């Protein structure tokens, strides 16, 4: 599982060599790769259950997929890859599963830090890390510091994240700044809110991928997803790979993004 075993010196061409039937790499417009791709990594548990394995094995397999998608996004030149790893609602899961996930997060981070360093990836976290077990928080904070000077892709991991909690926090921060006289309430605009979200400074996701076929946002990036394109696949996250990612980007490139304006074909 350690990254030194899987690290490769691949280029875009070698990483995406030999696509399976049905994937048309030549159709990919490399000048129109989404700046920010976000993944709702769903279906680890069902993947495992379908194989007679326990849910923990599904999460471990999900980590392998995440690693492949990180490398794929780096090779594609994506600016930001974000991934929903643990929601504010996930605490309701059985304690054993929560504990395993927290342990896996810490272990994965230790294992993958060399990969993130070699790939010049800067890690940021979306969510309230203060509620995490100390070891997980310590490892995350170490990773944050160790990669803070990196200039390549940003990997934004949503851990103990909930969009409503994020918006309530932004409101709290704004109220505190107003009370301290730092901001006039009349000046509170969209930028003022956006700059107090966990994603401050990052572009909004252009493409949100959800695996396992569910058609919901599940309290994820509610503000940032205002104009995101959605790509839903029935594939469970542990089976999601570089080729499915290419499929998602090809679908994105086929969409007509209007941002509330007129259809492109109607513009003369």
Please identify which of the residues 8, 29, 90, 189 carries the catalytic annotation: 90
> Binding residue for ligand FPP (CB under 6 A) from 3, 44, 147, 199?
44
Query: Cβ of residue 262: shortest distance to ligand FPP, in angstroms?
Result: 38
Please give the distance of CA 218 from its chain centroid, rounded to a whole number: 14
Query: Which residue is closest to ligand FPP by CB?
Result: 45
Residue found under tokens 């993004």: 257
Q: Is 47 known as a binding-site position?
A: yes
Distances (CA, A) of 49 to 52, 54, 56, 66, 232: 5, 6, 10, 20, 21
Q: Which two three-digit tokens encode residue 203?
A: 């572009």
Q: Three-class SS of residue 24?
A: coil
> Binding residue for ligand FPP (CB under 6 A) from 3, 76, 88, 105?
105
Interhelix angle 242-253/55-76, rounded to 10 degrees, is 60
Q: Which two three-digit tokens encode residue 156?
A: 């934004």
Please identify which of the residues 8, 9, 18, 42 carries the catalytic annotation: 42
Q: Rounding to the nearest 10 degrees, give the CA dihedral for residues 204, 248, 112, 92.
A: 70
Active site residue 42: yes
Q: Is 2 known as a binding-site position?
A: no
The answer to whether 59 contacts ligand FPP (rule: CB under 6 A) is yes
Query: Cβ of residue 47: shortest distance to ligand FPP, in angstroms?
Result: 7
Please give the distance of CA 186 from its chain centroid, rounded to a whole number: 34
Query: Cβ of residue 241: shortest distance to ligand FPP, in angstroms?
Result: 13
Task: Encode 217-234: b = buried (16+ Cβ within 10 Å), e = exposed.
Answer: bebbbeebbeebbbbbbe
How many whole angstroms separate alpha carbon 74 and alpha carbon 238?
Answer: 19
Task: Single out the segment in contact with ligand FPP by CB under 6 A; choices: 71-79, 105-113, 145-153, 182-190.
Answer: 105-113
> Binding residue for ligand FPP (CB under 6 A) from 157, 207, 245, 249?
157
Q: Which sign, positive or negative, has the C-alpha torsion 48, 247, 207, 113? A: positive
Active site residue 128: no
The answer to whether 162 contacts ligand FPP (rule: CB under 6 A) is no
Q: Which residues are annotated as a binding site?
A: 42-47, 55, 59, 87-89, 91, 93, 210, 216-218, 229
Q: Which residues are annotated as a binding site for substrate?
A: 43-47, 55, 59, 87-89, 91, 93, 210, 216-218
**Could you list the residues that contact ligand FPP (CB under 6 A)?**
41-46, 59, 62-63, 66, 85-86, 90, 105, 108-109, 157, 159, 212
Q: Which residues are catalytic?
A: 42, 90
């Amino acid at each position: 599982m350690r990254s030194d075993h899987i690290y490769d010196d691949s280029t875009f061409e070698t990483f995406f060599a030999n696509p399976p039937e049905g994937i048309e790499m030549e159709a990919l417009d490399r000048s129109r790769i989404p700046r920010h791709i976000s993944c709702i990594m769903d279906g680890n548990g069902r993947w495992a259950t379908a194989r007679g394995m326990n849910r923990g094995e599904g999460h471990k397999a999900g980590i392998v997929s995440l690693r492949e998608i990180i490398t794929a996004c780096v090779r594609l030149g994506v600016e930001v890859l974000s991934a929903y790893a643990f929601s504010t609602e996930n605490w309701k899961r059985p304690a054993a599963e929560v504990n395993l996930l927290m342990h896996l997060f810490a272990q994965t981070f230790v294992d993958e830090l060399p990969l993130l360093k070699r790939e010049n990836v800067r890690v940021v976290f979306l969510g309230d890390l203060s509620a995490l077990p100390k070891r997980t928080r310590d490892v995350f904070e170490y990773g944050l510091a160790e990669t803070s000077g990196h200039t390549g892709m940003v990997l934004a991991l949503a851990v103990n994240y909930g969009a409503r909690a994020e918006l309530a926090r932004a409101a709290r921060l704004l109220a505190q700044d107003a009370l301290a006289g730092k901001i006039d309430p009349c000046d509170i605009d969209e930028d003022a809110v956006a700059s107090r979200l966990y994603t401050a400074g990052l572009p909004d996701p252009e493409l949100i991928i959800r695996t396992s076929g569910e058609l919901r946002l599940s309290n994820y990036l509610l503000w940032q997803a205002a104009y995101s394109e959605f790509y839903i696949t029935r594939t469970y996250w542990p089976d999601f790979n570089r080729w499915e990612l290419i499929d998602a980007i090809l679908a994105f490139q086929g969409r007509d993004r209007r941002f509330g304006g007129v259809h492109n074909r109607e513009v003369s």
